Chains A and B, each alone.
Chain A
């Protein structure tokens, strides 16, 4: 009996366990977490050359640090210096840092396409809310004076007020200050992906605080991403992930959420995404996830669509050329474009509405 039994068991295990062996040896995974760019950046690289992978990670790390200081709106970097001049209504010195001009030009175009909902010129308004002090030890949150907010809104700071002449930057409007908080991360991720390519890295994932872009695949498989359920972020008993999505080469996923940076004050939450129309944190949306191939566009669009809210977002998505959108409203309803609905795998049952982005429909200008 023993030999037959052994034979049967061996046959059984051979058939069922053979699938556990990988079909071909995969590349090594190199992972590094960095505290940079005001967030936690997670870099995953697949490579069969460990030296090259380490060099690439070091290069990305230094470049993130460099861009963070260059583009910080209030520190002593180039953008900080520009803002100091703008606050004095003076033109800047000659700027040699080309990346600043591109940030401004690209922002102008995206701000226009978003009907002004993406507006990096409202740096003064954003600063009133002092979210930049969120990590300071001695800061006590207070709501800005309504009159101060109204006065700033009345001055209507816009990207179009910013002028570039002979490499000098000035503004037609004393209320404009530049804060690329809703754009810089996307531009930086896009630059890092290009940087990885120069190190011959073809398969990678860069995740900066929950906003990410992928290159290639994970040993032949698509990168699998979970999307946070904004309703359950602070409730451990409930499903933390609302949906899963597989990302292919060069795709990027950006999410703007009301749970990311906020102050709780007298039982009310004040989050960091300021509506340029009201001067207060945008209402109606819990989170917006955008999928495109351009991280800079994804960053600006996720902010603009968050502010647009459950009614206006399809118009803005159309104008900005975004096909893949998932918006979760404050009443926990999931809105998706048909393209997104095809890609995303919802993991919980919830009210869902598929909203086609209607073409050739005029978008009403904002008052």
Chain B
């Protein structure tokens, strides 16, 4: 009885545009659901860069804004670049530049460090993130 009432009312009140909105909402939900739960390509996606000098508190930077970060380290400055969701050392005061040769960091949990300058950069993500990356820096 109640259901019939609702159906009759729905027919009277629902317009084609309402139905369109409901279908769109439904499709959006399905897409969001699959994107957040099943997309393996998103594995380890990072969204934040942490830059740390010695044992100080790390500074956070969003990865979706390209920028250059200059930070003073133990023996001189280090220059860090954020571009297209990735981050890297592009200059450091150390001699051998292992931090620079390390190249881009792109997945959450990955870390690079300029040991002589005591500066580290680490990527973090909010979902599907790795707790650590195995393999040397």
- Residue contact A5 to B95, C-beta cutoff 8 Å: no
Query: What is the size, in residues, of chain B's interface with A at 8 Å between Cβ atoms?
Result: 52
Q: How far is the CA of A104 from the CA of B11 in the complex (A)?
A: 84
B137 to chain A, nearest CB (A): 5
- Residue contact A210 to B96, C-beta cutoff 8 Å: no
Q: Give B114-137 interface residues, CB cut-off 8 Å to A.
A: 115-116, 118, 120, 122, 129-137
A50 contacts the other chain (CB 8 A): no
Q: Which residues of B contact A261 (CB under 8 A)?
A: 98, 136
Q: How far is the CA of A44 from the CA of B106 in the complex (A)?
A: 21
Q: How far is the CA of A209 from the CA of B134 in the complex (A)?
A: 8
Q: Which residues of A contact B96 (CB under 8 A)?
A: 134-135
- Residue contact B107 to A226, C-beta cutoff 8 Å: yes
- Residue contact B134 to A289, C-beta cutoff 8 Å: yes
Q: Which residues of B contact A136 (CB under 8 A)?
A: 95
Q: How far is the CA of A42 from the CA of B136 in the complex (A)?
A: 13
B14 contacts the other chain (CB 8 A): yes
B111 contacts the other chain (CB 8 A): yes
Look across to chain A and name the residue whose beta carbon is closest to the beta carbon of B129: A224
The 4 closest A-B pairs by CB, nearest first: A260-B136, A228-B135, A236-B104, A1-B13
- Residue contact B52 to A33, C-beta cutoff 8 Å: yes
- Residue contact B86 to A236, C-beta cutoff 8 Å: yes
A35 contacts the other chain (CB 8 A): yes
Q: With A235-B103, A236-B86 known to touch, is A34 a contact of B134 (CB < 8 Å)?
A: no
Q: How far is the CA of A245 from the CA of B122 in the complex (A)?
A: 20
Can you show 22 pairs from A to B with CB atoms below 8 A apart?
A1-B14, A9-B25, A12-B25, A16-B32, A35-B118, A38-B115, A135-B115, A209-B136, A223-B132, A224-B129, A225-B109, A226-B107, A227-B133, A227-B134, A228-B136, A233-B103, A236-B106, A241-B107, A244-B43, A254-B134, A255-B136, A289-B134
Which residues of A pack against B, CB within 8 Å?
1, 4-5, 8-9, 12, 16, 32-35, 38-40, 42, 44, 134-139, 205, 207, 209-212, 218, 223-228, 230, 233-236, 240-241, 244-245, 253-255, 257, 259-261, 287, 289, 347
A228 to chain B, nearest CB (A): 3
Q: Give B24-57 interface residues, CB cut-off 8 Å to A.
A: 25-26, 29, 32-33, 40, 43-44, 52, 54-55
The CB with the most chain B CB atoms within 10 A, among A12, A236, A257, A347, is that of: A236
- Residue contact A257 to B104, C-beta cutoff 8 Å: no
A186 to chain B, nearest CB (A): 14
Q: How far is the CA of A254 from the CA of B136 in the complex (A)?
A: 9
Q: Which residues of B contact A209 (CB under 8 A)?
A: 136-137
- Residue contact A212 to B18, C-beta cutoff 8 Å: no
Q: Which residues of A contact B40 (CB under 8 A)?
A: 347
- Residue contact B110 to A5, C-beta cutoff 8 Å: no
Look across to chain A and name the residue whose beta carbon is closest to the beta carbon of B105: A240
- Residue contact A241 to B133, C-beta cutoff 8 Å: yes
A108 to chain B, nearest CB (A): 26
B91 contacts the other chain (CB 8 A): no
- Residue contact B115 to A40, C-beta cutoff 8 Å: yes
Q: With A34-B55, A235-B103, A236-B104 known to touch, is A257 a contact of B132 (CB < 8 Å)?
A: no
B24 to chain A, nearest CB (A): 12
Q: With A33-B120, A135-B116, A234-B101 known to touch, is A225 a contact of B137 (CB < 8 Å)?
A: no
Look across to chain B and name the residue whose beta carbon is closest to the beta carbon of A32: B55
Look across to chain B and name the residue whose beta carbon is closest to the beta carbon of A141: B96
A332 to chain B, nearest CB (A): 15
- Residue contact B110 to A226, C-beta cutoff 8 Å: yes
Q: Which residues of B contact A4 (CB under 8 A)?
A: 6, 9-10, 13-14
- Residue contact A205 to B130, C-beta cutoff 8 Å: no
B76 to chain A, nearest CB (A): 11
Q: With A4-B13, A225-B134, A234-B103 known to touch, is A39 a contact of B115 (CB < 8 Å)?
A: yes
Q: How far is the CA of A9 from the CA of B26 in the complex (A)?
A: 10
- Residue contact B134 to A35, C-beta cutoff 8 Å: no
Q: Which residues of A contact B129 (CB under 8 A)?
A: 224
Q: Which residues of A contact B63 (CB under 8 A)?
A: none
- Residue contact A241 to B29, C-beta cutoff 8 Å: no
Q: Which residues of A contact B25 (CB under 8 A)?
A: 9, 12
- Residue contact A257 to B33, C-beta cutoff 8 Å: no
Q: How far is the CA of A235 from the CA of B106 in the complex (A)?
A: 11
B66 contacts the other chain (CB 8 A): no
Q: How far is the CA of A223 from the CA of B133 in the complex (A)?
A: 11
Look across to chain B and name the residue whose beta carbon is closest to the beta carbon of A247: B131
B94 contacts the other chain (CB 8 A): yes
Q: Which residues of A contact B13 (CB under 8 A)?
A: 1, 4
Q: Which residues of A contact B137 (CB under 8 A)?
A: 39-40, 209-210, 260
